[in-house]
């Protein structure tokens, strides 16, 4: 799934992974777990994440490769947060040569909407999942943990994340857009409408 920070990729990925019974592989959640655990990788990336930067291509690619090689991903997987650069996309293509075709969902949201969304976004302090229910900003719908603001959603960090996205991640649209498996979805719709649009674009009609 492609799209700028705050486009709703995490929310849609979690929904679709449950619907299709495939693992939702969020590199952001994997990295936050490493930070919380105080692993060497976590210590290495903590400062980068809090400043809104991107992790080194080789480090994140190896992390993703290891996750995709697990048995639960053999029947398919849903990537959220990877690839974020063209070199990462090229590495993913190499990995997918032994799998089925890669489907790319590009969730588009205007910058004004992104800034508004991120100003109010919350994350679970226990499991690291973004809040998916606009009606409840207290507890996680998934594990019951308390919701807290994301450290990387502060105004100055958001602006840096958007700048990083435009320079390093937006070129992925050019990399993928000519493929028959690429689809662009209007992310400004209600969450249920975005889900329906993705399913209509991705699932083959009988």
Confirm whether 32 is a catalytic residue.
no
Q: Is 117 a catalytic residue?
A: no
Please indicate whether residue 46 is annotated as part of the active site: no
Q: Which position among 15, 32, 117, 161 bears the catalytic label? A: 161
Q: How far apart are CA 121 and CA 200, in angstroms?
A: 27
Question: Is 154 marked active-site?
Answer: no
Contact 49, 38 (CB under 8 A): no
Q: Which of 121, 146, 179, 205 is catalytic?
A: 121
Catalytic residue among 15, 32, 67, 150: 150
Distance CA(44)–CA(73), nearest Å, equals 27
Catalytic residue among 15, 32, 67, 84: 84
Structure-block tokens of residue 87: 């070199």
Out of 9, 32, 67, 117, the active site residue is: 9
Q: What is the DSSP letter of 152?
A: G
Terminal C-alpha separation, the chain: 24
The verdict on whether 179 is a catalytic residue reads: no
What sign has the CA pseudo-torsion 113, 24, 33, 27? Answer: negative
Measured CA angle at 18 (ends 195, 29), to 5 deg: 90
Q: Under DSSP, is residue 189 helix (H, G, I), strand (E, B) or coil? A: coil
Q: What amino acid positions are annotated as catalytic residues?
A: 9, 84, 121, 150, 161
């Amino acid at each position: 799934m492609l799209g700028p920070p705050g486009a709703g990729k995490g929310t849609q990925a979690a929904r679709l992974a449950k619907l299709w019974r495939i693992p939702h592989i969020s590199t952001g959640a994997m990295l936050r777990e490493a930070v919380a655990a105080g692993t060497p990788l976590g210590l290495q990336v903590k400062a980068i994440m809090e400043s809104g930067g991107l992790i080194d291509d080789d480090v994140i690619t190896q992390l993703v490769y290891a996750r995709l090689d697990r048995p639960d991903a053999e029947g398919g997987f849903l990537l959220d947060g990877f690839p974020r650069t063209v070199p990462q996309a090229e590495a993913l293509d190499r990995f997918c040569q032994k799998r089925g075709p890669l489907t790319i969902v590009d969730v588009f949201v205007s910058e004004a909407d992104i800034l508004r969304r991120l100003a109010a976004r919350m994350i679970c302090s226990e499991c690291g999942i973004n809040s998916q229910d606009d009606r409840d900003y207290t507890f996680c719908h998934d594990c019951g943990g308390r919701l807290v603001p994301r450290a990387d959603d502060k105004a100055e960090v958001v602006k840096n994340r958007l700048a990083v996205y435009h320079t390093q991640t937006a070129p992925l649209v050019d990399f993928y857009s000519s493929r028959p498996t690429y689809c662009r979805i209007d992310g400004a719709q209600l969450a249920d409408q975005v889900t329906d649009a993705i399913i209509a674009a991705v699932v083959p009609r009988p």
